[in-house]
Amino acid sequence: MNTCTRLHILVTGASSGIGRATALRLADHGQHVYAGVRKLADGAALSTFTSGELTPLLLDVTDAGQITDAAHTIAEHTGDAGLAGLVNNAGIGLVGPLELIPVEEFRRQLEVNLTGQLAVTQALLPMLRRRRGRIVMIGSIGNRFTPPFIGPLATSKSALTTMSTALRQELAPFGIRVTVVEPGSIHSEAVGKLDADVRQVLSLATPEGRALYEDAFRNLVAFFAALHQKGSPPDGVAEAVERALTAARPRTCYLAGKNARRMALVAALLPAAAQDALRRRLARQPAWATMVDQ
Ligand SMILES: NC(=O)c1ccc[n+]([C@@H]2O[C@H](COP(=O)([O-])OP(=O)(O)OC[C@H]3O[C@@H](n4cnc5c(N)ncnc54)[C@H](OP(=O)(O)O)[C@@H]3O)[C@@H](O)[C@H]2O)c1
């Protein structure tokens, strides 16, 4: 029988950035956190930063065996008490011109950021149902304001938001709430991964493909990276996640971090053509129809 009186919450992708800040914040505030990591060493390191209850779990969200094992471990400990929260945070951020992205890379983007979230959710729903627990999805403001060359990442987050809307309605009869947290510009470890990703996309492209997009792609990524270097720390997002998990009446969506509100306003108020012009300027893209012969 489970005698642990803490609330139990699983946070995926807890090795760095937003997931790490969320796991530590929740553990510090008295929850028993299951921290999903892909390397045991990351889990061990994480545990040293809190005196709270934090149990690392090996959990690659694309690995069916690891998802089953993680669900068993949590079920054994929580028993009849069930699971109070699931934070679907794990994610990768593939960028690149959609014409040049290898289709298998695009599939991987959706596999991690979308299908993986559903697979983890399905495995944990029996435990969440027992507790009338809550699900928090980490979306992105890129769902509302999508610049060029962020297509693979933004597509996955738009689909995640739509999936969350369906899930929210399907799970309402069971008293399970589903909230999307949409971060803006956050300075996390993800910024440091951009350079290598850009190099990889360009190295896989043909010389003709590079000629079509390289300058504007590099400009946009440089702008994007600078924006995130000056972004908010991940703790602001962790705070929004905690609110979604603990508020008596959580919202269906929280914006979090620098630029989130501003971008949401631009997306809501500016006509699409004006938004396109603004985004084209950010990427210093060639003007409309100036490359028609290419
Ligand atoms: N940073 C931002 O400005 C921003 C804005 C909007 C939304 N977000 C979203 O916030 C979430 C966290 O991003 P972050 O900025 O904190 O980036 P991050 O520091 O790169 O963290 C990403 C986390 O996801 C994990 N991960 C990657 N692939 C995985 C897989 N297949 N299975 C399980 N875990 C996996 C990583 O683990 P490893 O360390 O093992 O790779 C890492 O723990 C993502 O969903 C991201 O899209 C971030």
CA distance 83 to 282: 44
In a domain, 26, yes or no: yes
Residue 184, in any domain of the structure: yes
- Which CATH number do you get for residue 28? 3.40.50.720
| Beta sheet of 8-11, edge-to-edge order | 53-58, 32-37, 8-11, 85-88, 134-138, 177-183, 253-256
Task: Please provide the average confidence, as pLDDT, over all residues in the chain.
Answer: 96
Tens of pLDDT, residues 223-250: 999 999 999 999 999 999 999 999 999 9
Which atom of ligand 1 lies closest to the CA of 141?
6
Count the neighbouring beta carbons within 10 Å of the beta carbon of residue 221: 20
Please report whether residue 124 resides in a domain. yes
Whether residue 294 lies inside any domain: the answer is no
Start-end of H helices in the chain: 17-28, 40-47, 64-78, 103-110, 116-131, 151-171, 190-204, 207-229, 235-246, 260-269, 272-282
* Residue with CA nearest ligand 1 atom 27: 91
Domain membership of residue 287 (yes or no) is no
**Token pair for 173:** 């009869």
Report if residue 292 sits inside a domain: no
- Give residue-wise pLDDT tens across range 34-57: 999 999 999 999 999 999 999 999
Report whether pLDDT(2) > 70.
Answer: no
Query: What is the domain count for the chain?
Result: 1
Conformation bin of residue 223: beta by default, left when phi > 0, alpha when psi is -120 to 50: alpha
Protein residue whose Cα sits closest to atom 17 of ligand 1: 190
State the distance from the centre of ligand 1 to the C-alpha of 276, rounded, in angstroms.
27
For residue 1, name the pLDDT band (cuts at 50, 70, 90): low
Tell me which residue has its CA closest to atom 25 in ligand 1: 13
Q: Is 1 part of a structural domain of the chain? A: no
User: Is residue 290 one of the residues assigned to a domain?
Assistant: no
As beta bridge partners, residue 4 has none
Question: For residue 207, what are the domain limits?
Answer: 8-282
The Å distance, Cα 17 to ligand 1 centre, comes to 7
State whether residue 71 is helix, strand or coil: helix
Among protein residues, the one whose CA lies closest to atom 5 of ligand 1: 183
Distance from C-alpha of 146 to C-alpha of 113, rounded to nearest angstrom: 17
Q: Which residues line ligand 1 (CB under 6 A)?
A: 12-13, 15-19, 38-39, 59-62, 89-93, 112, 116, 138, 140, 183, 185-186, 188-190, 228, 231, 234
- pLDDT tens, residue by residue, 248-267: 999 999 999 999 999 999 99
The number of CA neighbours under 13 Å toward the Cβ of 137 is 31
Chain centroid to CA 11 = 11
Q: What are phi and psi of 283, to 5 degrees?
A: -90, 0
